[in-house]
């Protein structure tokens, strides 16, 4: 995921049983296209002549039984390549097409990998296909075109990775030249492309039609019963750059009636069905549940998440695991060991990375913080008991519980006091070599290693721990204090070592996650520390950064190596002590960034805020598209202008199927959704005993760079939006990742809050909040509530949330109660009635545990937002 060094190379073949070699003489110069009959390259593929020249690894005793080669495959192997049957010395010609076929069965349902590859390290693949076998013999056939001239190729059946022993039988193995060149044509379904999940009743509703027509087309919208409820003409848009398709767009935003199974028809094609209404409520919990299932160091509860996802705790020092309770550094990096249990597995592997964990943790914390600051956020939507996390019922918002699981890991990655680079953060921890798929975390036998500390990782720790320092104060003061202390230490260490960068070549067993510019991380960390502490040193640092006034909203969005926008968004939304003019300029920069994304969106026929060029569709592009939608959503939160809300909502149409492939990118959401995302934990495509990814996990998405062998072979020459395939082998287009799901979780929460569709209109009230006196640890404030309605107010409750852990000790003129950061102040009998144009005033005496005491900015009167 955003790491080109990510390669799955087979292991060295060990313990081969030497048999005979296939003689290649006489085959040179043969090209399939010139032969009347296909040329067979496999010798003795029917096993009529015994076992020669087939070989197998020493742990797979094999013999011919009933005319088939049958192998006793051992259990308790970790990787597919831990047990192999193959044949070597096969010649391939560049540009020639081949057909690889065989019959196979297994004594129990199991998955294997059938490969054609070079027989020497690093074993580059020409073909790799997963197959699921069972007791009945099945015939399999695959075509591929060779991209090399080589006479050292092999067919290999990688059959390891099963917990239990089993028997494989093979017959009629064939590799022939002269096959028709394979042509991959994705199933794109109907040419009318819609958001397959649906549309908000009071939201934009747009579709795209792929057509040869250049004139407007008639369209009709039918409800579940087939009754036409709307019709009109499409808008021709010409050839779309990102898909190379001639397309039209359709706008049916005028339809607001809730319903299921709507269909849109145009140019003789009818779309997949979709709903209109409150379509996103469950997405919030689905997207966040991904993190609970992705946890390391804890048993996954099948009763909570589904029995298919139940598993023992991974990497807690129980054999065959070698970590993560006592992990050494890579050789030469350090001479100590750390307990780095916990956290989330980063993506499809078992690695845990501070920089990617940083942005994912930020987005979960910010998803919660938005509920305290955004007018349309539903208070309590992420409260205790709302999500499927094991800590539910502890009186802490569930999303904070989930974020804490990663925060605890990030804190453990800090270099201990007294050591060289004390206070810095180690970059990552993962296996010392790549493992195969699938592989449950508790079955991973590889040595785990800490990788060198660097500045980017340290600043990710500083930023997220600073967020923790304010958001956990109302729930666990000791933990918040620990977080803030770690953030200060990390920030000071980063300033002392400002240019220690991750090694871009450190990619064996895990992604490199290198970043050549950490100025943005310095800005983000300074911003979070300032928001939490209000201290002038952090304010000076963020003001001196070129990112404070520069354009941080790139056309392709923010991401783990580009984090300046995170600081900017928080400075705009989280109450703080910046002067009004400076705060206004920050907020204006957010709306200007959002305006640019709206302009991009309007120019894209598929309605997404991402330019259409090839260089804009890269590893993890879906998360960048969503991050641009987050900027649009934040602009709406700041201004209440509906165009920003509509832009954020419409951007998600692309994610849920309004795209060139007519494919939703989120499991369980849409008619045609992913099932085979790249993951060691969710490997049903390779092993019937492994589950599919859980609902609510997002695939990386279209990647025009095609950075894995499978996609490169299958999709060569694809238009950008076609550069995706739902196959577990395509890690550069179809992997899962925590920073992609954190973006989905943030926008899912926003979308769920927009169910009624109407931007929040200011209520008939204004609230003034003024701090009259403060001293270390305490303050006295006044709240003035003015009734701006034309009728008297008979009974009132005013609510707000404190941003930095302030607590009310006493209220004068109101009955106040506080839950977490949120205060509710209710009238007393003598001031219950407030006449039009009149005000009621009450006073507060409170505690401010941090060195800053910013005033709250969002107030609700009887549940309605005040102006």
* CA pair distance 492, 524, nearest whole angstrom: 14
Average pLDDT over residues 426-448: 96
pLDDT digits (tens, 9 = 90+) for 197-237: 999 999 999 999 999 999 999 999 999 999 999 999 999 99
Please say whether the beta carbons of 46 and 113 come within 8 A: no
DSSP strand pairing (228-233 vs 192-193): unpaired
> Locate tokens 């799955």: which residue?
8
pLDDT digits (tens, 9 = 90+) for 289-311: 999 999 999 999 999 999 999 99
Rg of the chain's alpha carbons, rounded to an integer? 30
pLDDT digits (tens, 9 = 90+) for 134-153: 999 999 999 999 999 999 99
* CA pair distance 603, 555, nearest whole angstrom: 13
Active-site residues, by number, are 349, 678, 726, 735
In 259-336, which ranges are E strands? 259-266, 269-270, 274-276, 327-328
* CA pair distance 866, 761, nearest whole angstrom: 9
Instruction: State the pLDDT at residue 632.
Output: 98
Instruction: State the pLDDT at residue 761.
Output: 65
Angle, helices 564-573/580-603, rounded to nearest 10 degrees:
120
Which distant-in-sequence residues (6+ apart) come within 8 Å of 443 by Cβ? 78, 163, 320
Per-residue pLDDT at 16 exceeds 70? no
Per-residue pLDDT at 473 exceeds 70? yes
pLDDT digits (tens, 9 = 90+) for 535-590: 999 999 999 999 999 999 999 999 999 999 999 999 999 999 999 999 999 999 99
Per-residue pLDDT at 15 exceeds 50? no
pLDDT digits (tens, 9 = 90+) for 364-422: 999 999 999 999 999 999 999 999 999 999 999 999 999 999 999 999 999 999 999 99
Token representation of residue 218: 């008639």
259 versus 181: the higher-pLDDT residue is 259
pLDDT digits (tens, 9 = 90+) for 307-356: 999 999 999 999 999 989 999 999 999 999 999 999 999 999 999 999 99
Per-residue pLDDT at 10 exceeds 50? no
How sure is the predictor about 608, in pLDDT bands with cuts at 50, 70 and 90?
very high
* CA pair distance 350, 674, nearest whole angstrom: 21
The β-bridge partners of 866 are 763
Token representation of residue 609: 């805020």
Average pLDDT over residues 780-784: 98
Per-residue pLDDT at 125 exceeds 50? yes
Cα four-point dihedral sign 380, 804, 633, 731: negative
Please say whether the beta carbons of 426 and 336 come within 8 A: no
Instruction: State the pLDDT at residue 4.
Output: 34
Per-residue pLDDT at 33 exceeds 70? no
φ, ψ at 427 (rounded to 5°): -70, -40
Average pLDDT over residues 117-146: 95
Instruction: State the pLDDT at residue 591.
Output: 98
Please say whether the beta carbons of 252 and 264 come within 8 A: yes
Q: How many CB atoms neighbour CB 584 within 10 A?
A: 12
Which distant-in-sequence residues (6+ apart) come within 8 Å of 801 by Cβ? 372, 373, 820, 821, 822, 823, 856, 858
The β-bridge partners of 793 are 834
pLDDT digits (tens, 9 = 90+) for 261-292: 999 999 999 999 999 999 999 999 999 999 99
Instruction: State the pLDDT at residue 181.
Output: 81
Instruction: State the pLDDT at residue 549.
Output: 97
Please say whether the beta carbons of 782 and 772 come within 8 A: yes
* CA pair distance 469, 478, nearest whole angstrom: 10
Cα four-point dihedral sign 439, 10, 156, 737: positive
Average pLDDT over residues 507-518: 96
Instruction: State the pLDDT at residue 35.
Output: 41
pLDDT digits (tens, 9 = 90+) for 763-775: 799 999 999 999 9
149 versus 756: the higher-pLDDT residue is 149
Percent of the chain scoring above 70 in pLDDT: 95
User: What mean pLDDT, rounded, does the chain reach?
Assistant: 94
Instruction: State the pLDDT at residue 180.
Output: 83
* CA pair distance 720, 606, nearest whole angstrom: 13
Instruction: State the pLDDT at residue 216.
Output: 98
pLDDT digits (tens, 9 = 90+) for 85-96: 999 999 999 999
Per-residue pLDDT at 3 exceeds 70? no
Please say whether the beta carbons of 118 and 203 come within 8 A: no
Type and span of the H or E element at 839: strand 839-847
* Nearest CA among 459, 490, 474 for reference residue 566: 459
φ, ψ at 221 (rounded to 5°): -110, 125
Per-residue pLDDT at 484 exceeds 90? yes
Instruction: State the pLDDT at residue 327.
Output: 98
* CA pair distance 378, 848, nearest whole angstrom: 26
Which distant-in-sequence residues (6+ apart) come within 8 Å of 616 by Cβ? 242, 555, 556, 610, 720
φ, ψ at 823 (rounded to 5°): -110, 140
Instruction: State the pLDDT at residue 584.
Output: 98
Instruction: State the pLDDT at residue 34.
Output: 38
pLDDT digits (tens, 9 = 90+) for 390-399: 999 999 999 9
Coil/strand/helix, residue 126 = strand
Instruction: State the pLDDT at residue 760.
Output: 63
How sure is the predictor about 755, in pLDDT bands with cuts at 50, 70 and 90?
confident
Average pLDDT over residues 502-527: 97
Full-prediction pTM beyond 0.85? yes
Per-residue pLDDT at 621 exceeds 70? yes
- Examine residue 438 and say whether the peptide bond preceding it is cis (omega within 30 degrees of 0): yes
Type and span of the H or E element at 465: helix 455-471
Q: How many helices (H) and strands (E) does the chain have?
A: 15, 39
């Amino acid at each position: 995921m955003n790491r080109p060094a990510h390669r799955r190379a087979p292991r060295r073949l060990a313990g081969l049983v030497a048999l005979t070699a296939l003689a290649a003489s006489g085959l040179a110069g043969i090209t399939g296209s010139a032969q009347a009959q296909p040329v067979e390259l496999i010798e003795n593929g029917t096993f009529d002549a015994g076992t020669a020249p087939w070989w197998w690894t020493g742990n797979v005793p094999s013999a011919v039984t009933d005319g088939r080669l049958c192998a006793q495959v051992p259990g308790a192997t970790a990787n597919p390549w831990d047990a192999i049957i193959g044949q070597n010395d096969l010649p391939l010609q560049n540009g020639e097409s081949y057909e690889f076929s065989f019959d196979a069965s297994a004594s129990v349902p199991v998955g294997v990998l059938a490969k054609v590859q070079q027989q020497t390290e690093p074993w580059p693949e020409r073909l790799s296909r997963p197959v699921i076998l069972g007791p009945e013999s099945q015939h399999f056939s695959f075509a591929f075109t060779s991209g090399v001239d080589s006479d050292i190729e092999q067919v290999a059946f990688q059959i390891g990775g099963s917990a239990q022993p089993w028997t494989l039988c093979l017959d009629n193995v064939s590799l022939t030249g002269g096959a028709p060149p394979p042509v991959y044509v994705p199933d794109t379904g109907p040419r009318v492309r819609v958001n397959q999940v649906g549309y908000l009743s009071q939201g934009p509703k747009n579709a795209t039609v792929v057509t040869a027509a250049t004139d407007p087309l008639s369209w009709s919208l039918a409800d579940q019963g087939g009754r036409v409820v709307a019709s009109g003409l499409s808008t021709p848009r010409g050839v779309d750059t990102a898909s190379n398709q001639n397309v039209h767009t359709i706008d049916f935003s005028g339809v607001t009636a809730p319903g299921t199974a709507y269909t849109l028809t145009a140019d003789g094609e009818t779309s997949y069905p979709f709903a209109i209404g409150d379509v996103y409520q469950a997405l919030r919990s689905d997207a966040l549940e991904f993190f609970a299932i992705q946890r390391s160091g804890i048993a996954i509860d099948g009763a909570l998440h589904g029995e298919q996802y139940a598993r023992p705790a991974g990497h807690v020092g129980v054999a065959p695991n070698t970590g993560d309770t006592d992990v050494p550094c890579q050789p030469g990096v350090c001479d100590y060991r750390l307990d780095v249990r916990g956290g989330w597995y980063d993506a499809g592997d078992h690695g845990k990375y501070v920089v990617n964990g940083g942005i994912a943790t930020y987005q979960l914390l910010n998803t919660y913080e938005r509920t305290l600051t955004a007018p349309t956020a539903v208070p309590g939507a992420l409260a205790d008991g709302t999500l499927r996390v094991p800590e539910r019922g502890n009186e802490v918002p569930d999303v904070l519980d989930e974020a804490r699981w990663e925060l605890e890991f990030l804190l453990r990655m800090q270099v201990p006091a007294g050591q060289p680079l004390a206070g810095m953060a180690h970059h990552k921890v993962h296996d010392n070599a790549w493992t195969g798929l699938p592989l449950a975390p508790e079955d991973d036998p590889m040595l785990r290693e800490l990788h060198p500390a660097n500045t980017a990782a340290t600043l990710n720790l500083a930023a997220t721990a600073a967020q923790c320092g304010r958001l956990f104060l109302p729930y666990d003061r000791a933990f918040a204090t620990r977080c803030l202390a770690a953030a200060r230490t990390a920030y000071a260490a980063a300033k002392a070592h400002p240019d220690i960068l991750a090694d871009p070549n450190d990619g064996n067993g895990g992604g490199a996650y290198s970043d050549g510019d950490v100025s943005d991380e310095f800005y983000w960390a300074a911003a979070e520390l300032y928001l939490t502490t209000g201290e002038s040193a952090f304010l000076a640092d963020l003001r001196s950064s070129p990112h404070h006034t520069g354009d941080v909203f790139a056309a392709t969005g923010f991401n783990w190596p580009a984090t300046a926008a995170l600081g900017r968004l928080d400075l705009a939304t989280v109450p703080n002590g910046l002067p009004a003019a400076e705060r206004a300029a920050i907020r204006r920069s957010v709306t200007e960034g959002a305006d640019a994304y709206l302009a991009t969106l309007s120019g894209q026929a598929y309605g997404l805020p991402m330019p259409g060029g090839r260089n804009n569709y890269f590893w993890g592009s879906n998360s960048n598209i969503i991050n641009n939608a987050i900027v649009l959503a934040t602009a709406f939160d700041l201004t209440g202008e509906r165009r920003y809300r509509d832009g954020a909502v419409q951007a998600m149409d692309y994610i849920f199927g309004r795209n060139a492939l007519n494919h939703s990118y989120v499991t369980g959401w849409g008619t045609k959704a992913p099932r085979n995302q790249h993951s060691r934990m969710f490997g049903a495509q390779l092993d019937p005993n492994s589950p599919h990814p859980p609902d609510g996990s997002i695939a990386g998405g279209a990647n025009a760079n095609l950075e894995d062998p499978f996609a490169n072979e299958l999709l060569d020459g694809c238009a950008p939006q076609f550069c995706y395939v739902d196959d577990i082998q395509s890690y550069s287009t179809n992997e899962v990742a925590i920073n992609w799901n954190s973006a989905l979780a943030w926008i899912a929460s926003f979308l769920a809050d927009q169910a009624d569709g109407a931007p929040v209109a200011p209520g008939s009230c204004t609230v003034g909040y003024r701090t009259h006196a403060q001293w270390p640890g305490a303050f006295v404030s006044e709240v003035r509530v003015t009734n701006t309605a034309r009728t008297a107010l008979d009974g009132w409750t005013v609510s707000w949330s404190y941003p930095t852990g302030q607590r009310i000790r006493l209220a004068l003129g109101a009955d106040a109660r506080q839950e977490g950061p949120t205060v509710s102040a209710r009238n007393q009998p003598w001031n219950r009635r407030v006449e039009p144009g009149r005000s009621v005033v009450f006073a507060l005496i409170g505690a401010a545990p941090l060195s800053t005491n910013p005033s709250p900015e969002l107030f609700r009167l009887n549940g309605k937002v005040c102006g």
